[in-house]
Chain A
Amino acid sequence: MIEVLQSGLYSTIQDLGRFGYRNQGVPVGGVMDIISANMANLLLDNQLSDAVLEISLMGPKLSFNMNTLIAITGGYRSPKINGETINNGKLIAIKKGDVLSFGNLLDGARSYLAVKGGFKSEFKLHSRSQFKNITKNVRLEQGEQLIINDFEINIETSRTFVKNRKQFYDTKVLKVMKGPEYDMFSEEQISFFLNQNFTVSKDNNRMGYRLEEILAPHDYSLITSPVLPGTIQLLPSGRIVILMKDAQTTGGYPRIFQLSELAISILAQKKVGDQLQLKLTD
């Protein structure tokens, strides 16, 4: 069991998401940066579907009351065990009584904490991903106890790590494909999109990222149709919204581009003020 001494500002339990319920309006959810989350689970020899803790904004403070192994990936938040700084991308042995805390965010935006065997939080509609009105808890709460399996450490752990000299998200380029309404737009509009430097606005969260730049207003309207995480929508006001994992399942705005899976992970590591460029691929 892990006791949450301090919740931090916004951490949630996530797995790969909730499939099979979109027709009831249930978002897919799941880890925003699947590359980092998978890396953490792989380090521990977990299943990729094992739930991890997705940490954003201020990190939590956690006390372990059992032995286990952990790995932290994604954004580097200066993690510490009993006050001593540790690295990301490394398999770390935890002893009963150890306290994990976080400091300043030095790169990226979201960190992933995986534990051996995964977090055993509430399993609802085939997923542990926390979401309002689906799971009881929608974020980490102070005083909460997280259930994990006990694990006897009997392997040499200190040598397992991922070499990570340059982070995969250390780029402003997001690869996009044509969205369903791509052909609705003029060549001029498309080329504007592909040559513009965009900025992440303060309105960015698990549902979507709004961009700072505003294009000319338009009056294309669509009959409500399904949307996906990674869809770039152009609002009538000229606002650009990139949908993310907790986005609603349907929308009525033109879907001009679709981010690749890798681009979704890269975007998940961006924060307010970060620059973006779109690059069209097949």
Chain B
Amino acid sequence: MGDFQLTYKKYGTSAVLIEWPEQINKRVLKDIQILFQKISLLEFEGIVDINFVYCSMLVIYNPTAITFNTLKARLKNVYNEEVQIQDNKRKRWRIPVCYEIEFATDLLAFAERKGISEVELIQLHTKPIYTIYGMGFLPGFTYLGGLPDKLFMPRKETPSLNITEGSVAIGGHQTGIYPQNSPGGWHVIGRTPILIFDSNRENSSLVSVGDEIAFYAVSKAKFELITLELESDVYKFEEI
């Protein structure tokens, strides 16, 4: 039996939305990942794409290959079935971040509003191991859970028009990395030289939903060194 009571909703003519109880935690995420692995393992006919984030999963199917009711019944069975799956290949990434003012355009204002020092802010941000609960908004944009409550900050009322690729930012209870130049409403507190998403790479996204991320502070010199290493293809992505 699965651990949770799930609901299965018809969403349009070619998708099933599976909903877990509305909560953001690792137990739910783990349960979603197990179902995802089971579905992938069984190579279900008719499924064209799967997308999951926080506590829901969207299964997109080809309606000429399978009907909603058949797919729903099969998904229910699979959820409750004991399937031997390999232990999750969750990865834990170490991501270098330069918190120097040149890159961290909102760092000073952020620290001031919070009544903490810049050093404290950086310490708080680099302490947790964050979990990727989903990806969306932009290719490679991660929804990270685990931000210390002390770093909560409402989004900007007026979004910035251009946030630079690699910017590390805080918005509400979340923190994340902008994978490309884009407008955005989060507060930029640093920048990473790592390209989270690159469609020219074999695995276009470096990270996957369910992976974990820890940030560590680097100097501007180190940032530039890593940039060079990445350009010359000798940089080794750090896993813990």
Residues of A within 8 A of B (CB): 19-28, 124-125, 131-135, 177, 179-180, 223-226, 228, 230-231, 248-251, 255, 258-261
Q: Is the interface of A mostly helix, strand, loop or mixed?
A: loop
Q: Are A228 and B136 in contact (CB under 8 A)?
A: no
Q: Which residues of B contact A230 (CB under 8 A)?
A: 12
- Please give, as numbers and ranges, the residues of chain A lying within 8 Å of B140 by CB-CB distance: 24-25
Contacts of A28 in B (CB 8 A): 49
B218 within 8 A of A: no
A226 pairs with B52, CB closer than 8 A: yes
How many angstroms between the C-alpha atoms of A22 and B140 in the bound complex? 10
Once the chains bind, are A20 and B48 in contact (CB under 8 Å)?
Answer: yes
Residues of B within 8 A of A260 (CB): 12-13
Q: How far is the CA of A152 from the CA of B50 in the complex (A)?
A: 42
Query: Is the beta-carbon distance between A250 and B51 smaller than 8 angstroms?
Result: yes
Q: Which of chain B's residues has its CB closest to A260's CB?
A: B13
A26 touching B13 in the complex, CB below 8 Å, given contacts A124-B199, A250-B53: no
Q: Is A177 a contact partner of B52 (Cβ separation < 8 A)? A: no
Contact across chains for A19 and B139 when beta carbons are under 8 A apart: no
Tell whether B79 is near chain A: CB-to-CB under 8 Å.
Answer: no
Q: Contacts A20-B48, A20-B49 hold; do A25 and B136 have CB atoms under 8 A apart?
A: yes
Q: Are A26 and B54 in contact (CB under 8 A)?
A: no
When chains A and B are docked, how far (Å) is the Cα of A261 from the Cα of B135?
25
Query: Who on chain A is nearest to B174 by CB?
Result: A224
Q: Given that A24-B204, A25-B136, A25-B137 are contacting pairs, would A19 and B48 also be in contact in the complex, using a CB cutoff of 8 Å?
A: yes
Asked if B197 is at the interface of the complex by the 8 Å CB criterion, the answer is: yes
CB atoms of A24 and B12 under 8 A apart = no
B58 CB to closest chain A CB (Å) equals: 4
Are B58's CB and A24's CB within 8 A?
A: no
Number of interface residues of B (CB under 8 A): 39
Cβ of B11: which chain A residues have Cβ within 8 Å of it? 179-180, 228, 255, 258
Closest B residue to A176 by CB, please name it.
Answer: B12
Most buried by B among A22, A24, A177, A249: A24
Contact partner, B17, options A22, A180, A249, Cβ 8 Å = A180
Chain B, Cβ-Cβ closest to A122: B199
Contact check, B51 vs A223: say whether CB atoms are below 8 A apart. Answer: no
State whether B134 touches A133 (Cβ < 8 A). Answer: no
Return the chain A residue nearest B9 by Cβ: A180
Report the Cα distance A251→B143, complex, angstroms: 12
- Which 8 residue pairs spanning A and B have beta carbons closest together? A250-B136, A226-B58, A22-B51, A25-B135, A24-B205, A258-B12, A225-B56, A226-B51
Q: Is A23 a contact partner of B138 (Cβ separation < 8 A)?
A: no
List, in ascending order, chain A residues with CB within 8 A of B52's CB. Answer: 23, 226
Assembled-state Cα–Cα distance A41/B88 (Å)? 43
Alpha-carbon distance between A134 and B134 when the two chains are bound, in angstroms:
19
Most chain A beta-carbon contacts within 10 A, residue among B22, B49, B51, B209: B51
A248 contacts B54, CB within 8 Å? no
Say if the beta carbon of B164 comes within 8 Å of chain A: no
**What chain A residues lie within 8 Å of B134 (beta carbons)?**
224, 250
Cα distance, A133 to B48, chains bound together (Å) = 23
**Quick one: given A224-B134, A248-B138, are A23 and B51 in contact (CB under 8 Å)?**
yes
**Would you call B55 an interface residue if the criterion is a C-beta within 8 Å of the partner chain's C-beta atoms?**
yes
Partner of A133, one of B15, B51, B54, B138: B138
Q: Is there an interface contact between A125 and B199, defined as CB atoms closer than 8 Å?
A: yes
